[in-house]
Amino acid sequence: MDKVFINKVCMETQTVFHENGRVSIIPRVTNKNMSLTGDEGRQTVQRGRMITDDDGRSIFHPYMESGIPRYRLMMSTDHGDAKETQTGNLIVTFRLPQNGNTKKLLLSEAKEMARKI
């Protein structure tokens, strides 16, 4: 697993749960001199799922907890992608234009993907 923070840090925070689903976590003044990333001014971006209980207890699960990406791109065409999940499932995505003969384009893309896979 890649290290996001320099080590485990426990800090007092003020947490604000906004109506639109955003969560703001602000360190208390007593924690202002702590460094999480080891490089002043550097920010870290994490993607994941946050679970919040009714009493406000929350936990954040990063998507790449195991250090392995969720999907592996197997192939790509002009209008689609084929990806494999960590569990071995296949996800095929088509990006089709709004106008035109989408049925013909869909069939040609599906044939091209079937040929490549």
pTM reported for the whole predicted model: 0.41
Q: Output the CA–CA distances (angstroms, integers) from residue 78 to 8, 20, 75, in the order listed.
A: 44, 36, 11
Domain segments of the chain: what residues?
Answer: 13-62, 71-116
Buried b (16+ CB within 10 A) or exposed e, 35-67: ebeeeeeeeeeeeeeeeeeeeeeeeeeeeeeee
Q: pLDDT by residue (tens digit) across 20-47?
A: 888 888 877 666 666 666 666 667 777 7
Residue 80 has pLDDT above 70, yes or no: yes
